[in-house]
Amino acid sequence: MATLAPPAAEQNSPVREPERFSAALHRYWGYESFRPGQESIVKSIAAGRDACVVMPTGGGKSLCYQLPAVLDATTAVVISPLIALMQDQVAQLLQMGISAACLNAATPSEERNHILHHASTGKYQLLYLSPERIALGGTVDWLKRLPISFFAIDEAHCISEWGHEFRPEYRQLSRLRELFPDRPIAAFTASATRRVRHDIIEQLRLRDPHKHIASFRRPNLRYIVRQCDSRTQNELLLRAVRQVSDGSVIVYAPTIARVGDTVDLLEENGIAAIGYHGQMESAARRENQEKWMADEVRVMVGTMAFGLGINKAAVRAVIHLSLPKSVEQYYQEAGRAGRDALPADCFLFWQKKDTGLHAFFIGKIEDPAEKNRAWQRYHEVERFVQSKECRQRHVCRHFGESPKWERCGNCDACAATPDWLEIELQVPRRKRDATRRPLATKAPAPQPAAPRPTPPVLSVSADIELKEYLREWRRITARERGVAAFVVFHDSALVDLCLVKPSTLEELRRVSGFGDKRVEMYGEQILDALRRFRQGERASEEGKQKVSSPAKETQRLLEEGRTFAEIAQIRSRTLRAVVSLVADLIERGDTEFQPTWLSPQHYNQIAAACRQLGMDRLKPLKEALPPEIPYEEIRLVIARLRTETASNVP
């Protein structure tokens, strides 16, 4: 008899082992099934084994450590480098009815004491800590008193110098094994080459970890790489943004100045956009990020500082305006597109001059080993953009995968680039532009483009209106509760809501992403909103923010009598960008040229040079004139002379 008894664990648990996992998945996340790889990772962590998981962005990485954490009354400690990411995850977990907290440098002391107290009673199922926190004196002693189930290390590639985001403070985590020898450690990352994976296992001293390396192929992403010059790049950018009819866009600019200029370019062309970079005040940065997350503005222009820890599902395009520093960085940034598994585009519009800029920055690195690694990454990026190999395949091979397939059938190397990228650019706004060279056209590949997967049926106007309406409801609700919009529910849940259109709580419960707690919190309100929509209520116009035009603002500042330098400072733009905008305004007849902008002597010299050399190119003019005459003055005089010529043409 005794030999036939089931193992102790099963005897004690009220639910059978496999059902325990799917029950938690359904109860908290509102999902019916696991995504590829998740189940075996969850089970192995729950069984107390170490893990090393490489799962692309959008693959459902966080669920792999969150789910085992909710299975019993102990606490899982999650180490994450990004404060915003920790806060967002905690907010989402709380909405799901899972007790969680985070401790980092930004936690106010009163809240910290509160969390320290509750943690020691085992209140939290998940406790998020920054790596710096672990290094603080006293933290380890305190942690030893907690009922810890396991450690999860997020963004584990930060521990490796070979990774593209090495963080010295992550090296502290090497001590975890020694300090907590009997607690499992699970490492997670979205991008790690073979060398980085090896480094993670070694540094964290993982013991026979469960390894899961998902494929780096993202079948719903279309990679398109294109070399261009600065003129054609602007046009390509505008086209790439315009072809996105629904959903959000991220544009990556190489420098802070380019962020501002790109926002201006888009707004001047009637596309609402906001910027994000490291030197913005943190309040402004947070505000812009929230506006974008809440769909108030669709296009976000950022430096590479933007997007870490951002979890927005319906990003339809990620556009790079320069060569990234590494293939890993590119993969991670481009991978912010299409997390909802619907088709999305990744455009990389690079210029020859980007390589010079990279070489310049690498030249400044002092540590010879780091310099060597930077050169290696640079050459890998160069090979990527110049390769004729399928882009998806190239990426997979970069991460040490050996794909059995040759072509994705969708990227620019496999299929013809879309028409809107190929047709000649319609630049000539005025006569002089006719001499501009059209965008170099690439001969279309012989084979026809593979058909793209079609997004779910949302083309019916009622559905678009419903989506708008629910989005507004979500925006208002999020604001009332002081949380980010996606914390209320994800974009993928929004799409599903529009398809299912539930009218009872049971029907809502079947919508993907609606677990018990979320239905309890918002169920009635959502059903109410759907009822009002059926009765004819629609999204209001207010809340859709009016685009503030850079041209209008510049004009206003000019009228106030500000100097160009002052305008540049107020608008956080370069002097050259301001002058170029004003010159455009003059040429369009929207602003008058002011003789006070430069001395009559300079004006006459420039005008004489223009008569002699023509006005198509600035450089010969600059070289012919005395060095004290700046580019900006030449540009303004040209604008003035052009309006004269134009008005003299019969």
For the chain, the C-alpha Rg in angstroms (whole number) is 28
CB of 410 vs Zn ion, minimal distance in Å: 6
Of the ranges 328-336, 391-399, 468-476, 518-526, which one interacts with Zn ion (CB under 5 A)? 391-399
Our CB check for Zn ion shows the closer of 406 and 560 to be 406
**Beta strands per DSSP E along 208-312:** 210-213, 221-228, 248-252, 273-276, 299-302
Q: Is 390 in the site for Zn ion (CB under 5 A)?
A: yes
DSSP 3-state assignment of 75?
strand
CB of 380 vs Zn ion, minimal distance in Å: 18
- Residues 388, 158: Cα–Cα separation, whole Å: 31
Of the ranges 172-180, 388-396, 474-482, 635-643, which one interacts with Zn ion (CB under 5 A)? 388-396
Our CB check for Zn ion shows the closer of 266 and 408 to be 408
Our CB check for Zn ion shows the closer of 259 and 414 to be 414
**CB atoms near residue 4 (< 10 Å):** 5
- Residues 271, 253: Cα–Cα separation, whole Å: 17
CB of 341 vs Zn ion, minimal distance in Å: 18
Q: Is 96 in the site for Zn ion (CB under 5 A)?
A: no
DSSP 3-state assignment of 641?
helix
CB of 395 vs Zn ion, minimal distance in Å: 10
Q: Is 327 in the site for Zn ion (CB under 5 A)?
A: no
Q: Is 159 in the site for Zn ion (CB under 5 A)?
A: no
CB of 390 vs Zn ion, minimal distance in Å: 3
CB of 344 vs Zn ion, minimal distance in Å: 15
User: According to DSSP H, which parts of 423-561 are helical?
Assistant: 461-481, 485-488, 491-500, 505-509, 516-534, 550-559
DSSP 3-state assignment of 348?
strand
Q: Is 143 in the site for Zn ion (CB under 5 A)?
A: no
Opening angle at CA 474, ends 68 and 127, nearest 5? 25
Our CB check for Zn ion shows the closer of 445 and 565 to be 445
CB of 252 vs Zn ion, minimal distance in Å: 21
Long-range contacts formed by 356-359: CB under 8 A, 24+ apart: 357/254, 357/322, 358/323, 358/325
Query: Dihedral of the CA atoms 276, 278, 279, 283 (nearest 10)?
Result: 60
- Residues 517, 400: Cα–Cα separation, whole Å: 41
CB of 251 vs Zn ion, minimal distance in Å: 23
Our CB check for Zn ion shows the closer of 407 and 481 to be 407
Our CB check for Zn ion shows the closer of 203 and 220 to be 220
Contacts of 526 (CB under 8 A, 6+ apart): 470, 473, 497, 502, 508
| Helix axis angle, 368-386 to 352-363, nearest 10° | 170
Our CB check for Zn ion shows the closer of 257 and 450 to be 450
CB of 404 vs Zn ion, minimal distance in Å: 14
Q: Which of residues 400-429 bind Zn ion (CB under 5 A)?
A: 408, 411, 414
Q: Which of residues 451-480 bind Zn ion (CB under 5 A)?
A: none
Our CB check for Zn ion shows the closer of 399 and 469 to be 399
What is the DSSP secondary structure assignment for residue 78, as one 8-state letter?
Answer: E
> Sheet of 126-129: strands edge to edge?
100-103, 126-129, 75-79, 148-153, 185-189, 51-54, 210-213
CB of 225 vs Zn ion, minimal distance in Å: 11
| Residue 219 backbone class (left: φ over 0; alpha: ψ -120 to 50; beta: rest) | alpha
Our CB check for Zn ion shows the closer of 351 and 392 to be 392
Contacts of 367 (CB under 8 A, 6+ apart): none
| Residue 543 backbone class (left: φ over 0; alpha: ψ -120 to 50; beta: rest) | left
Our CB check for Zn ion shows the closer of 296 and 380 to be 380
Tokens of 165: 């985001």
Our CB check for Zn ion shows the closer of 206 and 414 to be 414
Size of the site for Zn ion (CB under 5 A): 5
CB of 317 vs Zn ion, minimal distance in Å: 17
Our CB check for Zn ion shows the closer of 297 and 408 to be 408
Of the ranges 14-22, 390-398, 513-521, 623-631, which one interacts with Zn ion (CB under 5 A)? 390-398
Q: Is 621 in the site for Zn ion (CB under 5 A)?
A: no
CB of 406 vs Zn ion, minimal distance in Å: 9
CB of 219 vs Zn ion, minimal distance in Å: 10
**Cβ(634)–Cβ(622) under 8 Å?**
yes
β-sheet bridge partners, residue 75:
148
Q: Is 395 in the site for Zn ion (CB under 5 A)?
A: no
Of the ranges 70-78, 272-280, 382-390, 583-591, which one interacts with Zn ion (CB under 5 A)? 382-390
Tokens of 66: 């969150």
Our CB check for Zn ion shows the closer of 118 and 217 to be 217
Residues near Zn ion (CB under 5 A):
390, 392, 408, 411, 414
